[in-house]
Amino acid sequence: MQLPEAGLASRVMRVVTPQSAEPDDPALREAARVLDAGGVVALPTETVYGLCCRSAFKDAVARIFEIKDRPPEKRLPFLVPDASRLADFTNDPPPRAVRLARRWWPGPLTLVVGPDPESVAVRVPETAVTRTVLRLAGGPVHGTSANLSGHEAATDAPSVVRAFSGRAAPDLVVDGGACKVGRESTLVRVAPDATTSIIRIGALAPTDLLPEIAAKILVVCTGNTCRSPMAAALLKRALASALHVSEDGLLERGIDVSSAGVSAFDGDPASSGARRAAARRGLSLEAHVSRSITGLTLDDYECVFGLTPEHVSALRRRFNVARADTLDPDGRGVADPFGGGDDDYEAAARDIEAAVARRLPTLLRLALPK
């Protein structure tokens, strides 16, 4: 297959129209062949059309920069056929990234993962014909919007042809019709330490992302009726105060705090001693309902804190939570006040307050920027 050399304008672009999303569709097989021969293909997605090439071909990558007149410091994202490929780009994806991928892939979300300066942008497009091409291709595929840098991205095949007519151009355009969304994907960076930022607002608004983008913090004790409910309430207030929001506004800043017990029964109220200790601090545990840790998807949590070293040991051994740690950064535990008097609950609450104060600076880094 003869492909244009880098630096030469391709004045005639071939356009093919798939009849299905099946792997034996001739147009899709042709698109994969062009990619595997080092060519550049314009593929449809639900957001905009993308200029695509195999990442293994340096000349093809250079041609995309030439075709788009893209600044050389802006690296090219990857398009992948399914969410399992996220593991190809990062060994230990943060829970935030996993949750976002689970909810929005395939879809109009691009995730930036991995440590800087080696971080990469990855997306699973919704458009079935393009996912088929990505599966047929012999290796990873770059994909970036089909437009000259600074110009509006093409949202149908004729727009791709018009944008690059008479200049450097892709070798092949796969006509998948008009893009359903017609706006570029939202771009979210999730760093290895789980700090997160929305780099570009596109098809998805920040409010669309909040349920998955919020850092989930879990505080764990034994029965989830005394220490962990107090700890969750005190931690929420401390975070809200530091972020200058109400406790109900924590989710908008990307923080979700809850509690559970390693040996809890679901449905029990907070103990009367815990309720009184909370009330003396202007907090209410009246609505608290205990829950067992066994019903939770623990991989979804950025932070899992035990109230004692024994809780941490149980979390690691019984529940395989390798990142579990004590709420107190120095490893000190909080004595169980259950069955004791108000003095015991006061002592526990004071120890929790001290642990929260020491842990707070680290947890604040998980909040989304304003």
Known active-site residue 171:
no
**What's the order of all strands across the beta sheet hosting 303-306?**
255-261, 215-221, 303-306, 325-326
Which pLDDT score, from 0 to 100, does residue 7 have? Answer: 40
208 flagged as catalytic? no
Amino acid at 133: V
Q: What is the CA radius of gyration of the chain?
A: 26
* Mutual angle of helices 95-104 and 206-213, in 10-degree steps: 130
Q: What is the pLDDT of residue 92?
A: 86
Residue of 179, 239, 216, 232 lying closest to 100 (CA atoms): 216
| Predicted local confidence at residue 10, as pLDDT | 46
**What residue ranges define each of the domains in the chain, with the CATH number in brackets?**
14-81+124-182 (3.90.870.10), 214-364 (3.40.50.2300)
pLDDT recorded at residue 219 = 98
The whole-number pLDDT of residue 237 equals 98
Phi, psi of 112 (to 5 degrees): -105, 120
CB crowding 56-67: b at 16 or more within 10 Å, else e: ebeebbebbbbb
Positive or negative, the Cα torsion across 145, 211, 360, 260? Answer: negative
CA 358 to chain centre: 27
Token pair in block for residue 46: 């639900």
Q: What is the pTM of this model?
A: 0.88
Chunked mean pLDDT (size 10), the chain, 370 residues: 44 89 98 98 98 98 96 95 93 92 97 94 98 98 96 97 94 98 97 93 95 96 98 98 96 96 97 98 98 96 97 97 96 97 98 98 94
d(CA 256, CA 276): 24
Catalytic residue among 53, 179, 221, 303: 221
- Classify burial at 320, counting beta carbons within 10 Å of its beta carbon; exposed 0-12, middle 13-18, buried 19 or more: exposed
Task: Report the alpha-carbon distance of residue 304 to residue 143 in Å, rounded.
Answer: 37
What is the distance between the alpha carbons of residues 267 and 223, in angstroms, rounded to a whole number? Answer: 11
Q: Is-catalytic flag, 336?
A: yes
Tell whether the torsion through CA atoms of 360, 366, 369 and 370 is positive or negative: negative
274-282: long-range contacts (C-beta < 8 A, 24 or more apart)?
A: 274/225, 274/226, 274/227, 274/229, 274/230, 274/337, 274/345, 276/342, 276/345, 277/230, 277/342, 277/345, 277/346, 277/348, 277/349, 278/229, 278/230, 278/233, 278/349, 280/346, 281/234, 281/349
The per-residue pLDDT for 8 is: 41
User: Residues 189, 227, 275, 359: which is the catalytic one?
Assistant: 227
Nearest CA to 228 out of 67, 302, 338 is that of 338
User: Please, are residues 54 and 36 in contact by the beta-carbon 8 Å criterion?
Assistant: yes
Write out the two tokens for 336: 């169980």
Q: Cα dist. 151→4, 169, 230 in Å? A: 24, 15, 54
125 near 119, Cβ under 8 Å?
no
In angstroms, how far is CA 16 from the centroid of its own chain?
A: 34
CA distance 19 to 130: 13
- pLDDT the model gives residue 1: 46
